[in-house]
Structure 1
Amino acid sequence: MYVLNIAGRQREYYQILLDYSLLWESALGIAAITNSRLFDTLEKKSEFERQLETMPRELSLELKYVEKNNTWKCLFQLLHSYQITSPEVNKFVAYINDLPEEELKFICLPYIGDNAQEIRKRAAQGSKESLHALKDLTSEISFFPTYIEFINQVNVAELKNHLISVFSKWYESFIHPISEELNTILKNDFENKAVMQKKMNAEEFVGWATGGISYVPEPSIQNVLLIPQLTYRPWNIESYIEGTKVFYYPVSNESINLGDRYLPNYFLIQKHKALGDEVRLRMVKLLFERDYTLQEITEKLELGKSTAHHHLKILRAATLVEVKSSKYRLRDASLNSIYKELELYLNQ
């Protein structure tokens, strides 16, 4: 079939926004240390384990509350609403404290699109019908329905006290002592990305910054916000806020060790490590043919489920594989970019 395009319409692109702050790093730390599912894959796992041993009891209790109720999500939503107008913890704490009950609940409830904003608003006001509708609309994300129910039922004064306590204690214990070094790393990455942004179109830039994520424009999404983070390396954390797709992406090795021209990009290392294993190469070849569920992969390759899941986590952490609709899928763009990334490293 032949197609002649006479519409003259160019493809729409989103606008790239860049930001960084120690406040994001604090919220990400709280999320990471309470995420038992991904904890073993984190680059900072051993550091987190040491922190757990020396952690103040009050903070440990608050983190258990976070893990039970996923209140890290509240912190992320509130930081986006606050928009980091000041990087000072006491001002963010004051912002939380001053929020009216209904507004706090509205902010904490997940954004799922412009069409659902009225449902979100009524759910924050206490409408049972809207609450159930919001839970149904978010059922694909496993923890959202119970999280939404929690936000609906929680005593707001209790929630405020918890959020202020866990955020302040985490920042004081684990961010403040290394704040100068950490801020320098984040600033380095922010400035490096700002330079490269001018040399690429929006989609190319998102793929480069995140280590291979291919993000195409979506309806009602005008902006993509990129926030560098050290805590969750090697993972990209994705989220949505009003009109904006957010990527909390892992800072590059070059930003951590500025001036070392022989230091390879983090994802370049992770991709080669992930592919340097027979089982994972077999998985890549299998997924090159089509998408598969975990059960299908274990049957095809004659692996135990725990073994298959372990190798798939490594492939996902290296941005070579993703999960869509309960099936594992090869990230073709990330796989195809390996040679270009190696070439870029050799010639830099």
Structure 2
Amino acid sequence: MKLLDMSYGRSSYQVTLHSSPLFEAALGIAAATYDEIHPTLEKPREHWLAMIDALPPDVQTELYDAQRHHTWKTLLQLLHARPFPDLDAFLSYLEGLPGQQLRLEALPYLGREREDARYLASTGNRLAVAELLQACAGHKFFPAYISHVSEVDANELRRHLITLFRGWYSIHVRPQETELDSLLQRDCDQKRAMQQKLSPEALVEWATGGKYEPEPSVARVLLVPHTLYRPWTIQADAPDTKVFYYPVADENMAEQVDPYQPPHLLVQACKALGDEHRLRIVKHLAERAHSLQELAVRMDMAKSTLHHHLSMLRSARLIEMDASKYQLRRTHVDQLSLFLSEYLDKDCSR
């Protein structure tokens, strides 16, 4: 086939950062109701049980309903509607939403091709609901969630969300609201300071720890920092937007930030590269990708020892696996000098 390419080329996405204790509350509810993930979170299971026990009985009832029907998803999607300055503004918005609009905001975005079905489903159209259910049949919780949102009385859903969110926020966010807002904002400011120096893809990778290549249907990436779901990054979809709730960087978690504290990833990278063997591995991978066996031969090293070195390099995000081979994350390596310069040039006089 002969092809004359007259297209503009692949465009990137725009990155927006937004922090708010409101997101922290919704993600806290999500984490508290997700028993399976508790062993992987920084906070132990006992912490989450204590948070649930601290809630008033009526709020606990709503939390268990949220666990059964996954309505924490509704809260997150409603928070995407606009930037809300505080809890009262968000609850006022929720109280004023017409029933059909509330359902529409609650139903998950499943791609442009199903936006008509999503709208019709919000009006009670059973065929449209069936189409959405079929489209996400393999998803972990979407089918049950869509069925519930489509069937529950809109006023009952509204009452449930308001009682749950107000109760959780009052107990677990309000007492530390000022400090939490400052912490989340500090992390956003750190990312914004690098926004003019990194490509959108590099910024997303730095914040989330994972790559996200541009998609034709996605014009914007929304980055939202969180503390409760650490170390996980949660990915979600909205119209024309990919959402990443990413963990606040380690250096921004302390109540009193030490201006001389280097970024955690910079420390990891320096440690990983501060060894002759690991530098040799990086050099080999700069030439081409290698399997474990190929590296063991070229390094004349036992696989168990080699695996230890590779693990350190992976933890520092300097290398990655592609199928069965290790390859260098060249973009991240090239950015180390930038991160070091940012740290050295940071004003510590205040």
TM-score in same-fold range (> 0.5): yes
Superposed displacement of residue 101, structure 1: 1.1
C-alpha separation in 2, matches of 1:181 and 1:133 = 45
Superposed displacement of residue 6, structure 1: 6.8
Match of 2:34 in 1: 35
C-alpha separation in 2, matches of 1:199 and 1:222 = 20
Counterparts in 2 of 1:97-112, with a 5 A limit? Answer: 97-112=95-110
Partner residue of 1:88 out of 86, 89, 92: 86
Match of 1:222 in 2: 219
Counterparts in 2 of 1:167-316, with a 5 A limit? Answer: 167-211=165-209, 213-257=210-254, 258-265=257-264
C-alpha separation in 2, matches of 1:267 and 1:62 = 43
Match of 1:151 in 2: 149
Q: Which deviates the most, 15-24 or 39-48?
A: 39-48
Partner SS for 1:38: helix
1:217-257 CA-partner distances (Å, limit 9, x unpaired): 11221000111111111000100111100001101112223
Task: Give the structure-2-normalised TM-score.
Answer: 0.75
Amino acid at match of 2:231: P
Partner residue of 2:123 out of 125, 138, 142: 125
1:115 aligned onto 2:134 = no
Superposed displacement of residue 337, structure 1: 7.5
Superposed displacement of residue 208, structure 1: 0.7
Amino acid at match of 1:20: S
Match of 1:293 in 2: none
Superposed displacement of residue 93, structure 1: 1.0
Q: Which deviates the most, 333-342 or 99-108?
A: 333-342
Superposed displacement of residue 87, structure 1: 2.2
Amino acid at match of 1:214: K
1:36-62 CA-partner distances (Å, limit 9, x unpaired): 121111112353343234332222211
Query: Structure 1 pair 10/61, CA: closer, same or farther in 2 (3 Å)?
Result: same
Amino acid at match of 2:212: Y
CA contact (8 A) 1:254 1:260 kept: no
CA contact (8 A) 2:55 2:167 kept: no
C-alpha separation in 1, matches of 2:211 and 2:160 = 37
Match of 1:284 in 2: none
C-alpha separation in 2, matches of 1:341 and 1:203 = 13
C-alpha separation in 2, matches of 1:103 and 1:208 = 36
Superposed displacement of residue 158, structure 1: 1.1
CA contact (8 A) 1:265 1:345 kept: no
Amino acid at match of 2:148: F
Amino acid at match of 2:54: T
Task: Give the structure-1-normalised TM-score.
Answer: 0.76
Unaligned stretches of 5+ in structure 1? Answer: 274-287, 291-314, 323-327
1:250-283 CA-partner distances (Å, limit 9, x unpaired): 011122232353455279769x99xxxxxxxxxx
Superposed displacement of residue 150, structure 1: 0.6
Amino acid at match of 2:239: E
Query: Structure 1 pair 334/242, CA: closer, same or farther in 2 (3 Å)?
Result: farther
Query: Structure 1 pair 215/267, CA: closer, same or farther in 2 (3 Å)?
Result: farther
Query: Structure 1 pair 36/340, CA: closer, same or farther in 2 (3 Å)?
Result: farther
Match of 1:78 in 2: 78
Structure ID, larger Rg: 2
Superposed displacement of residue 201, structure 1: 0.7
Superposed displacement of residue 191, structure 1: 0.6
1:159-214 CA-partner distances (Å, limit 9, x unpaired): 11110001000000000101111111111111111011110111111101112x11
Superposed displacement of residue 330, structure 1: 8.4
Unaligned stretches of 5+ in structure 2? Answer: 273-289, 293-313, 344-350
Q: Which deviates the most, 89-98 or 243-252?
A: 89-98
Q: Which deviates the most, 329-338 or 214-223?
A: 329-338
C-alpha separation in 2, matches of 1:78 and 1:69 = 16
C-alpha separation in 2, matches of 1:55 and 1:126 = 34
Percent identity between the two aligned chains:
34
Amino acid at match of 1:80: H
Amino acid at match of 1:138: C
1:65-101 CA-partner distances (Å, limit 9, x unpaired): 11000000110111112x12x3221221111111111
Partner SS for 1:37: helix
CA contact (8 A) 2:55 2:168 kept: no
C-alpha separation in 1, matches of 2:193 and 2:325 = 26
